[in-house]
Amino acid sequence: MDHMKKDWGDELQWIQKGIHQVDGYITTISNHYLQHRLQNDEYEDRIFDELDICWAIMNGRIVEGYDIGERNGNKDPERILIGPSLKEPWIVLAVVLRLDRHFIIKTVFPVDRERYQRYLENDERP
């Protein structure tokens, strides 16, 4: 949950650089999210589009970090970010860290779970 916490500041900057494709960094949104979760009636809370995601990354923070295999057999390290979006005060983003400077937004949902609300300051809580 705190995997490589000392590097989270740098990792967030790299993810942000990836939004702008600067210095060889690339941040993309998974096709799975875009094609199967976003605006799907079976996933009513998956309403966050590219603009929401970019805004959250540029104004958010990493709150959890997982090493390879720590979360459901993940093949790559993962970071959990929370940040503001244009549709909700705060959203959660699961980001996969690839070794080739490529970051993939795996999924996005509102901060409506108590697990993530604990990372918000009192004045940030919904």
58-70 tens-digit pLDDT: 999 999 999 988 8
Contact at 8 Å (CB) between 53 and 123? no
**What distance in Å separates the CA atoms of residue 35 and residue 25, rounded to the nearest whole number?**
24
pLDDT digits (tens, 9 = 90+) for 19-62: 999 999 999 999 999 998 988 889 888 989 999 999 999 999 99
Alpha helices in 6-70 (DSSP H): 8-20, 31-32, 50-59
Q: Is the pLDDT of residue 74 over 90?
A: no
